[in-house]
Structure 1
């Protein structure tokens, strides 16, 4: 026997990381030459560029006109925590926890804010029982589990006549999946996911109901400056017109403008969803043919079209200890990276061992077509010395 031969084709862009994600096709540093550098972000020009990001986000993401959009510090994490620290407390709280970030929000609410919340949990690859979501409670959940490859199929589990506010972490769902704005009061995401932008900045989208909560409720705990969105009982509207709480990177802002221009030029949200669906389709067709891999999300109805998580099901591997299975998955990712065909595709550290391949719209379908033979090559190479189960 000889070791497997390497495939002939290689992905033109091997960046399949789940964050920061691949830059948009055709990206180059020269695209950022109009960045407002060496100037205050509070200057007329700086605020105009920040407002441009807000306006283009509304256009591409199809955000209703009566929702507020702000650029906030701390990436998606900062946006989610701003909402939780500012709004939770006056009503019962429920949290959906089916991947690592949802579990982080549980820690924030239960251990930091010390709210007695109801946690609806599910293991990686599954969703909690959505029928248990209460209309009288505030709800915090991730629309798409970046680390589990699982998404909610829709927002039908949220009551239209709900009394609580719904805080949705949509960082790996925005620009790739249908967000039901009528059912969501707070939506958060970051540029570094589906837009392929740079890190450290979050986007916070607020409905009228969210604004009403901010203006009628004052939390009992200390509020850090970075989380303050009201003054004298009113929402600080400047934050949603181009002002920011702290100093943003205007280079990252220009990169977001570039990504949003690209998104609009290809057909907006409809085309971005189509591209992500087509990318997932490549891996779905491949999984049907291969015998060693399967989706962590076994139910296609809840399978992510952005952060696609794969597990190894070959008996030679599943018969190994958990540590050995984890080592095998790391070897797969290492082989792919060493060949320069797939970078940063190891599964999340707390998830079951496997691979995680970003399939958002900034990834070209042709690159996933070229990748799948390499996935088989990596498995065959890593398993070469293993005995049949």
Structure 2
């Protein structure tokens, strides 16, 4: 993991049970002192913002929103001690840059669940780069990993060690505890070993490709083919209008009323082609196509041929 992601030597690789959803609660309890500032441009960024906003021991979170299909960065504020946003919004396929904002005492938390393992990243631009394993890393859900800067580790210790009548931190949400266990190659409670075996296999395979830069080239071969296909059709277009903000691993395509994607999905499913549905909360006439490293670009080309065949006959 350290070698593949080029994790800085002073960063701590930390893990725990529960997936990235649980890490939102971990971060709320263990990394936010008083107030978080979030960028929200889809369902997953919004869920983390609701977590910190709902915490009775924190001030109301600052939330900067973008329209679905776009992305943004958090509002800068001296009142915030954490900035948080997704590197990629899985619900829409919009991406945002990974870069430091604010000053040294303001932590940068990046949700990388659906893109980690598919693109290179400069981890020095983050304090917590966290993710689950069920997307590009080809494993099951149920575990979270986080690459933590020394500042994040220090913040977790500071909050855990400060007596507070308002903030009770359950052991499962105590990041200081997770760090202490992780450096000993342990977890607070037993993880699914098969999940770690799947992760190990995927890490070896990604390394055999040549690492994250080669994985990035592979996913771009698939996603760019999908975007080009959509742009060539009179009835379709990439949902993310700005090419710079389009995901290389979640290609979301919007269709006009001449193509009913609900019917299209039914026909595809009846013929063994599955998992192309749009995100339910977005509620648009779309296909959402995963092009993670494990997806062979030849399979993507075959899918596009199938789409042509079915749509012509709807």
| TM-score greater than 0.5 by the shorter chain | yes
Q: 1:236 to 1:282 in 2, by over 3 A?
A: closer
How far did residue 266 of structure 1 move?
Answer: 1.3
Q: 1:207 aligns with which of 133, 149, 157?
A: 149
Asked whether 1:256 is paired with 2:199, we answer: yes
The corresponding residue for 1:349 is 280
TM-score normalized by structure 2? 0.91
Asked whether 1:309 is paired with 2:252, we answer: yes
Measure the CA separation in 2 of the matches of 1:354 and 1:246. 40
CA RMSD of aligned residues (A): 2.0
The corresponding residue for 1:53 is none
Q: 1:183 to 1:124 in 2, by over 3 A?
A: same
Q: 1:131 to 1:119 in 2, by over 3 A?
A: closer
Structure 2 gap ranges (5+): none
Asked whether 1:290 is paired with 2:233, we answer: yes
- Contact 1:76–1:188 (Cα < 8 Å) also in 2: yes
The corresponding residue for 1:105 is 48
The corresponding residue for 2:172 is 226
What secondary structure does 1:230 align onto?
Answer: helix
The corresponding residue for 2:39 is 96
The corresponding residue for 2:19 is 75
The corresponding residue for 2:136 is 194
Larger relative contact order, structure 1 or 2 (CA cutoff 8 Å, min sep 6): 1
Q: 1:268 aligns with which of 197, 211, 227?
A: 211
Q: 1:131 to 1:214 in 2, by over 3 A?
A: closer
Measure the CA separation in 2 of the matches of 1:135 and 1:287. 43
TM-score normalized by structure 1? 0.74
What secondary structure does 1:69 align onto?
Answer: strand
Q: Larger Rg: 1 or 2?
A: 1
- Contact 1:139–1:167 (Cα < 8 Å) also in 2: yes
- Contact 1:135–1:158 (Cα < 8 Å) also in 2: no
Q: 1:87 aligns with which of 17, 31, 35?
A: 31
- Contact 1:133–1:157 (Cα < 8 Å) also in 2: no
